[in-house]
């Protein structure tokens, strides 16, 4: 068996450049300079400098105005209870007003476990029977902290039976 021979010996191929590739590179380099200057002008005109808005701008809040606080959506601290808990005497009244999403049903109801669509209530890490109605028995003055724990984390922490999450309440008792 004979193998065909190559007419030219093997050699390292050198990339060839044509006049087209040189002209494209030259046009890209000349077009980049005006774009950079234009970008600097746009940033300066839009007020994107490090100084930001002046202190006397109409959108800036006055120094003596109280600013609204933002609280985490899955946690209620004692400071928030003191600030936003006017006229609420129980944990249920407070949550209905401030965090109503915690009290909504999640998922579909089943025939075997009717309460599975509402969050389970734990007070000082003890599960309370009665579901959400246990929140009526907790005076707001004794609550230090409330937290909503989602279904995945609640199942990991307490086991199965928490398809709708947990409302965890820490009291000062």
Does position 124 have pLDDT exceeding 80, yes or no? yes
d(C-alpha 141, C-alpha 43), whole Å: 53
d(C-alpha 8, C-alpha 166), whole Å: 78
Domains and CATH numbers, the chain: 75-107+115-171 (2.170.130.10)
Q: Note the pLDDT of residue 116.
A: 60
Q: Note the pLDDT of residue 133.
A: 92
d(C-alpha 103, C-alpha 35), whole Å: 55
How many Å separate Cα 79 from the centre of its chain? 22
Does position 87 have pLDDT exceeding 60, yes or no? yes
Does position 53 have pLDDT exceeding 50, yes or no? no
pTM (predicted TM-score): 0.57
Highest mean pLDDT among 8-17, 68-77, 85-94: 85-94
More confident residue, 137 or 6: 137
Does position 85 have pLDDT exceeding 80, yes or no? yes
- Give 68-79 pLDDT, tens digit per residue: 667 778 899 999
- Cα angle for residues 101, 115, 138 (degrees, 5° grid): 60
């Amino acid at each position: 068996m004979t193998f065909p021979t190559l007419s030219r010996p093997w050699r390292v191929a050198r990339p060839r450049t044509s006049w087209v590739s040189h002209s494209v590179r030259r046009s890209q380099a000349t077009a980049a300079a005006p774009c950079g200057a234009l970008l600097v002008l746009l940033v300066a005109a839009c007020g994107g400098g490090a100084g930001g808005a002046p202190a006397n701008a109409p959108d800036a809040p006055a120094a003596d105005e109280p600013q609204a606080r933002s609280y985490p959506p899955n946690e209620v601290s004692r400071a928030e209870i003191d600030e936003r808990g006017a006229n609420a005497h129980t944990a249920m009244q407070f949550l209905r007003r401030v965090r109503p999403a915690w009290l909504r049903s999640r998922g579909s109801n089943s025939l075997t476990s009717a309460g599975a669509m509402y969050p389970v209530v734990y007070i000082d890490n003890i599960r309370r029977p009665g579901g959400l109605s246990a929140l009526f028995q907790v005076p707001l003055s004794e609550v230090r902290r409330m937290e909503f724990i989602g279904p995945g984390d609640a199942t990991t922490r307490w086991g199965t039976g928490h398809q709708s999450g947990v409302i965890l309440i820490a009291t000062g008792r």
